[in-house]
Chains A and B, each alone.
Chain A
Amino acid sequence: MDHAIAPATRIGDQPRPKKNYLNETKGFWSWAGTVDHKRIGIMYLVGVLVAFLMGGIFALLVRLTLLTPSHKLFGKVLLTAEQYNRVFTLHGAIMVFLFIIPAIPASLGNFVLPLMLGAKDVAFPRLNLFSFYLWLTGALMAITAMVFGAVDTGWTFYTPYSTTTDGPVTLMTLAVFVLGFSSIFTGLNFIATVHKLRAPGMGWFDMPLFIWGIYSTAIIQVLATPVLGITLVLLVLERSFGIGIFDPRIGGDPVLFQHFFWFYSHPAVYIMILPGMAIISELIPTFSQKTIFGYRAIAYSSVSLALVSFIVWGHHMFVAGQSQLATVVFSALTFLVAIPSGVKLYNWLGTMYQGNIKLDTPMLYAISFLVLFAIGGLTGIFLGTLATDVHLTDTYFVVAHFHFVMVGGTVTAFIGGLHYWWPKMTGRMYSEAWGRVGCALWNIGFNMTFLTQFFLGSKGMPRRYYNYLDQFQPLHAFSTVGSWILGLGLFITAAYLLASLRKPMDAPDNPWNGTTLEWKTSSPPITHNFEEQPVLEREPYDYRPVLVAK
């Protein structure tokens, strides 16, 4: 009997269905009132990318102001100190709350999660739409606050500065409160979906690792965000009614605010990175055409990161006036939380070993992630170490560290995932040549901007500084030029991605030869996702060839 060995996942491309989720229904209300997770994902994608643009413009403004100690551009002062304080606050608040926390879960996650599970939609489609409108409401409230003078508290809202400074602090705080509920409901939706809507035959350890990552993220979203909610309510009430909890003039404890705030905000950074790692766990096996190395280890590390993230918040407060015992305990626990991340990095390398590696744009971003996240994570060690943290905290070293993990980590992964699922979402392939250009500029610009800042910090340049000592100027200038290259790279990326939308829909169902279920449906998918309920018959990431009878 003749037989041929064919790569396991190659299914013959089906004829492209005429109707897909994009064109089946038309008109504004078919989008505004949709309960289709794919459309909601696209709406979120547009929203968070607009937020990213806003936050990015503020970032460029910050860097431009710091180009010279005089803050002048073409002879005119670009921003006064008060304006600068507002701009860096908005940069942080927009990037954290409007962009990076929702970005991967609500856009790519919404689109891909049900497809990967072989489901028709998320557990609560109407709640999903409601989450989107909560995000939009929070965004509009934040924009309103910006229009009415903006806030200058820093994105961390430390008291008593935030309870006494003028400006629409209450409005901005309430905007974040609303955004928090958007995040909670998204997480709630995903947890229920993963528990109950998996395809027949898909046990917990048959799920793609992207799901494990999103699931772990959802746990944090559900458990941590309410604490942020109540913290913000307390802040607003303190400001308006003087309840006496955080303001020392009326008997409160300002350090208590920091404990409340970081109890959410540390787990929040894992809301940011876990989805990024989740994407990398998809990109590396696909572009190595090899099964993931250490599936269970990666799955367990995702969940353990989510859980351990709740007990390390005090490492943001080593010099803030918490007790010495707390300081020591938090440092020890912080080292513990470093281990699962390291394990993942080595597992990904183990996947690439003896692989068959294609360097398409998503994989270029995945490699970039490995490098940039390694730097970000390793510099965390300097900060978790008590003695060095005393010198480095509240300096540019911290700024560099968190940009490396959040931007070098999460945003790199996000862009990689965007390219990876672009054909699935839009039905078009983007230009690979331009993809390489964009990735190169991303890496060059990012490293120029942020590697420099480690040195600024260790040499003693504090953060949130408008004026700086002359000796720091060369490093600041170098960092600013880097930001221009970074911006250019992103602009180019946006341009070629948008340009691809003008092409006809010609993307194959499975351009990357992936094994997960989203590649078993058309690009773009039909509204109901699958023609027939898919049934899982193989392990995840199984690239072994099957014998095909001819």
Chain B
Amino acid sequence: MEWLTRLMMPPAGSEYAKEIDFMYMGLFWLCGFLFLTIVIPAFYFIWRYRHRPGRVTPHVTHNTAVEIVWTIIPLLICVAIFFWGLKGWMEYAVAPGDAMEVQITAKKWLWQFEYPDGSRTINDLHVPVNKNVKFVMTSEDVIHDFFVPDMRVKHDIIPGRYTEVWFNPTALGKHVITCAEYCGKGHSDMHAVLTVENDADFAKFLETGGTEWEDYFNGKDPHKTPADWGRVQYETKGCNSCHTLDGTKSKGPSWKGIWGKMETLNNGQKVLVDEAYVRESMMNPSAKVVNGFEPIMPSFQGLLKENQIKGLIAFIQSLQ
């Protein structure tokens, strides 16, 4: 009956999906049978007992035994189905401890994914095949819902809270992610693509830090320049807790107008603020400390991807 399952369900993207399909088909046959216990007698009766003038019908008001039977049997069937559903649901409800965690931020009308190493993508989810992956989700505005039909999972995404859902994908390739809680004008456009790939491809994907940065470097959108991407890093990687943009001295030097300046270090040396200097300041900050500041800046070695570094450099350059 594979064809029937394929008729009614999307492709099965995981073992769990196959279990759900089995349950769905089981309910389909059971309910189909119960449906026939209603419909066949109904149609048989309207033929067999069609009206004949003068016929007198028996005055049967009830039959306690029969009524008890057709109450108890459905009750038992319902109890059984409840436990069957509970079993499957318990598997869905608690993510395994070893699951890789991906954070999802949903907002009208796009999906933002953040991977364990800090990479971020928009509408583009990559996961390694045959590994547990768990999603920790929140919304920035209204309620959304993360629905992956091929995996048979969904859960609402609620502003002001975190919710979770997980799966273990077994089917390589692309799958649909779609929002399943009405959220306004763009609700039906709020799609993302799930790419299930082998470990090597997934590692390569992570290396470049996701794909969001590409929009800032391909020159297509005048509002998305490398400097804009750098501003995003400035605001999200912690730079703004020590460096201001308006010239005010904080725990670190302000970035306003420093590009191309000759900066005096705490050992009296002078150094040009150029790309090499900025890179070194991020990776090995205690190598050169500006005069009047403490050597407290942490290293960002391994925490910034190449595109993020390039963005920051472009951003600083733009702050004349």
Chain A residues packing against B (C-beta within 8 Å): 81-82, 85, 152, 154, 158, 160-161, 164-165, 248-249, 253-255, 288-297, 319-321, 324, 327-328, 331-332, 335-336, 338-339, 342-343, 345-347, 349-350, 352-359, 367, 370-371, 374-375, 378-379, 381-382, 384-391, 393-395, 455, 458-460, 462-469, 539, 542-545
Q: Within the complex, what minimum Cβ distance (angstroms) separates B256 from chain A?
A: 33
Nearest residue (CB) in A for B84 is: A385
- What is the total of A-B residue contacts with beta carbons within 8 Å? 258
CB within 8 Å for A370 and B57 given contacts A391-B154, A468-B188: no
Q: B160: CB under 8 A from chain A?
A: yes
Interchain CA distance A324-B159 in the complex, whole Å? 19
Which of B57, B74, B149 meets A460, CB within 8 Å? B149
Chain B residues packing against A (C-beta within 8 Å): 7-10, 19-20, 23-24, 27, 31, 34-35, 38-39, 41-42, 45-46, 49-52, 55-63, 66-67, 70-71, 74-75, 78-79, 81-82, 84-89, 91-93, 141-143, 145, 147, 149-150, 152-156, 158-161, 163, 176, 178-189
Interchain CA distance A64-B45 in the complex, whole Å? 39
User: Does the CB pair A160–B141 fall under 8 Å?
Assistant: yes
| Cβ–Cβ < 8 Å partners of B181 in chain A | 158, 394
Nearest residue (CB) in A for B6 is: A459
User: Does the CB pair B56–A545 fall under 8 Å?
Assistant: yes
Q: Within the complex, what minimum Cβ distance (angstroms) separates B270 from chain A?
A: 50
Q: Within the complex, what minimum Cβ distance (angstroms) separates B130 from chain A?
A: 21
CB within 8 Å for A387 and B184 given contacts A296-B62, A352-B46: no
Q: Within the complex, what minimum Cβ distance (angstroms) separates A454 from chain B?
A: 8
User: Does the CB pair B58–A290 fall under 8 Å?
Assistant: yes
Interchain CA distance A336-B71 in the complex, whole Å? 11
Nearest residue (CB) in B for A160 is: B142
Nearest residue (CB) in A for B24 is: A388
Nearest residue (CB) in B for A296 is: B62
Q: Within the complex, what minimum Cβ distance (angstroms) separates B69 from chain A?
A: 10
| Cβ–Cβ < 8 Å partners of A152 in chain B | 184
Given contacts A158-B143, A253-B160, A296-B62, 17 further A-B contacts (CB under 8 A): A81-B185, A85-B187, A291-B57, A339-B78, A352-B41, A352-B42, A354-B60, A355-B49, A356-B51, A371-B39, A388-B24, A389-B85, A390-B153, A394-B181, A395-B180, A455-B7, A458-B8
| Cβ–Cβ < 8 Å partners of B75 in chain A | 339
User: Does the CB pair A353–B59 fall under 8 Å?
Assistant: no
CB within 8 Å for A388 and B154 given contacts A371-B39, A545-B56: no
User: Does the CB pair B24–A293 fall under 8 Å?
Assistant: no
User: Does the CB pair B8–A455 fall under 8 Å?
Assistant: yes
| Central interface residue in A154, A291, A356, A371, by most chain B CB within 10 Å | A356
Interchain CA distance A455-B181 in the complex, whole Å? 19
Nearest residue (CB) in A for B33 is: A378
A-B interface, 7 closest residue pairs, ranked by CB to CB distance from nearest = A387-B88, A460-B149, A248-B160, A385-B85, A386-B89, A290-B57, A335-B78
User: Does the CB pair B39–A354 fall under 8 Å?
Assistant: no
> What are 30 A-B contacts defined by CB distance under 8 Å?
A82-B185, A154-B182, A249-B159, A253-B160, A288-B49, A290-B59, A293-B61, A339-B71, A339-B75, A346-B38, A352-B45, A354-B57, A356-B51, A356-B57, A357-B49, A359-B50, A379-B31, A381-B31, A385-B81, A386-B86, A387-B19, A390-B152, A391-B153, A393-B154, A394-B180, A458-B8, A463-B182, A465-B187, A542-B59, A544-B56
Interchain CA distance A335-B45 in the complex, whole Å? 29
| Cβ–Cβ < 8 Å partners of A543 in chain B | 56-57, 59
Nearest residue (CB) in B for A164 is: B142
User: Does the CB pair B60–A375 fall under 8 Å?
Assistant: no
User: Does the CB pair A385–B23 fall under 8 Å?
Assistant: yes
Interchain CA distance A357-B8 in the complex, whole Å? 38
Interchain CA distance A142-B134 in the complex, whole Å? 44
User: Does the CB pair A160–B57 fall under 8 Å?
Assistant: no
CB within 8 Å for A371 and B42 given contacts A387-B89, A390-B154, A393-B154: yes
CB within 8 Å for A165 and B86 given contacts A160-B142, A342-B74, A356-B52: no
Which of B35, B79, B86, B161 meets A375, CB within 8 Å? B35
Nearest residue (CB) in B for A257 is: B143
Which of B27, B58, B153 meets A354, CB within 8 Å? B58
Q: Within the complex, what minimum Cβ distance (angstroms) separates A344 from chain B?
A: 11
Which of B67, B85, B156, B188 meets A319, CB within 8 Å? B156
Nearest residue (CB) in A for B138 is: A248
Q: Within the complex, what minimum Cβ distance (angstroms) separates A364 from chain B?
A: 10
User: Does the CB pair B82–A385 fall under 8 Å?
Assistant: yes
Interchain CA distance A289-B58 in the complex, whole Å? 10
CB within 8 Å for A338 and B58 given contacts A387-B23, A394-B145: no
| Cβ–Cβ < 8 Å partners of A386 in chain B | 85-86, 88-89
Which of B38, B61, B152, B189 meets A374, CB within 8 Å? B38
User: Does the CB pair A467–B88 fall under 8 Å?
Assistant: no
| Cβ–Cβ < 8 Å partners of A460 in chain B | 10, 147, 149-150, 176, 178
User: Does the CB pair A355–B67 fall under 8 Å?
Assistant: no
Which of B42, B78, B84, B86 meets A367, CB within 8 Å? B42
| Cβ–Cβ < 8 Å partners of B10 in chain A | 459-460
Interchain CA distance A381-B78 in the complex, whole Å? 8
| Cβ–Cβ < 8 Å partners of A345 in chain B | 38
User: Does the CB pair B180–A293 fall under 8 Å?
Assistant: no
User: Does the CB pair A370–B153 fall under 8 Å?
Assistant: no
Nearest residue (CB) in B for A318 is: B89
User: Does the CB pair B45–A355 fall under 8 Å?
Assistant: yes
Which of B27, B142, B182, B188 meets A382, CB within 8 Å? B27
Nearest residue (CB) in B for A352 is: B45
Interchain CA distance A370-B181 in the complex, whole Å? 32
CB within 8 Å for A254 and B143 given contacts A249-B159, A387-B92, A391-B153: yes
Interchain CA distance A542-B93 in the complex, whole Å? 54
User: Does the CB pair A161–B183 fall under 8 Å?
Assistant: yes
Interchain CA distance A345-B71 in the complex, whole Å? 11
